[in-house]
Structure 1
Amino acid sequence: MRDSVEPVGKRILIRKDEARQRTRGGIVLPDQAEIPTITGRVVEISAQIERDLDFPIRKYDKVLFHPKNAIPVDLEADNVLYVVPIEDVVAVFRRIEPKKSRTKSTGDTEELE
């Protein structure tokens, strides 16, 4: 049997992303250099948030959150689950598909940026 966590009120459950060990430029960071990771995937959403159309957050979204009020959940050995108040979510990452338009003469489509 598996345990599960369901956030209540205006909260969501986030699985925190792993901390980067290498910068985008390729520099390897030593273990002492702690760069706080504040992105993660939404694992569960409280019923209150799910019904509220003012919050565009859905399950499996990648989000950026402020870690100050995040409550760690001691459910897994690596302790990467956090209950986070919805007010502490500052951004949702969305993938934007390029728009396509038809050319009048050929009817072919081309990508716009």
Structure 2
Amino acid sequence: MGARLVCAEMIRGGVTCFADHYFAMDAVAAVVEECGIRAHPGEAYFSSQGSRGRGKSLEFALRHRGGAGGRITAAPAPHALYTVDETELTATAELARAHGLPVHIHAVENRALR
């Protein structure tokens, strides 16, 4: 329900594409399919989830890549530099490269990280 409302608000405001990553992104992809907007979604993961989190994120990206008639550009989505360690980031970059996928990450979220 929330994703549907947000997409409606974006469309009403003239937004044609958005980027988002967190959890329950299958629901967001389904709304994108319905409403006609373009999206760059990713299923977020943290290092605390181990390789399972990275795997789930990659599976999401592969499952939704090119979805909604090509309007979805899905990506593996390590959450942020302070929640995903260097080993996981390197593994994600290698997987993304191997599958021809972009990566979605919160690179700079506050002034302390700039």
Calculate the TM-score normalised by the size of structure 2: 0.26
Greater share of residues in strand: 1
Structure with greater contact order relative to length (CA < 8 Å, sep ≥ 6): 1
Which is higher, the Rg of structure 1 or of structure 2? 1
Greater share of residues in helix: 2
Calculate the TM-score normalised by the size of structure 1: 0.27
